[in-house]
Amino acid sequence: MAHVFLGLGSNIERERYITAGLDAVSRLFGHFACSPVYDAPAVGFNGEPFLNLVVEVRTDLSVGELARQLRHIEYEHGRPQNAKPLAPRQLDIDLLLYDELVGEVDGVVLPREEILRNAFVLRPLAELAPEQRHPQLERSFAELWSEFDQTAQPLRRVDFQWQGLVLSTAE
């Protein structure tokens, strides 16, 4: 079984679509681990703020099949087939890491570059898997987060309830 990390985000009816995304992840993978949920400004375009989190799953799906399944979930929840990369989203699910794979696999670039560029990906990843190492840099996500310019992209942890569980306790 592959060890996989996914980033989930939404800035349109955020609570509704993050809940729908978590429901879909649960149906697809069963058990999964989840980071705290963060409120973050849109990056790269003017738009409403996002809710973001990272989930950790185990799967026997190949990279290509996993990417197709994730895209299908997004389409089921309103993502247009021709969606622009930097635009509002009902639900965005990104494949961040798949085991220790590096490079382009089945059309997916791994690890996802946004891990190192965006606080809304790196911080939840560092909290969920602090000792996990970036497969190219061989440094832990906790180390990478501690060196990140945390003032450039402000985040706010928020309380979020899913299936009766509180996924975050606000800071």
Question: Among 41-55, 77-91, 92-106, 144-158, where is mean pLDDT lowest?
Answer: 77-91
How far is Cα 75 from Cα 43, in angstroms, rounded to an integer? Answer: 22
How confident is the model over 40-61, as a mean pLDDT? 94
Asked if the model's pLDDT at residue 36 lies above 60, the reply is: yes
Residue 56 has φ and ψ, to the nearest 5°, of: -115, 125
Strand 156-158 and strand 165-166: pairing?
unpaired
pLDDT at 26: 94
- Residue 136: helix, strand or coil by DSSP? coil
How far is Cα 29 from Cα 26, in angstroms, rounded to an integer? Answer: 5
pLDDT at 163: 78
Query: Are the C-beta atoms of 73 and 55 separated by less than 8 Å?
Result: no
pLDDT at 157: 94
- CB-count burial class (<10 Å; 0-12, 13-18, 19+) for 82: exposed
How far is Cα 150 from Cα 141, in angstroms, rounded to an integer? Answer: 14
What pTM was estimated for this model as a whole?
Answer: 0.94
What is the assigned CATH class of domain 2-166?
A: alpha beta
- CB-count burial class (<10 Å; 0-12, 13-18, 19+) for 114: middle
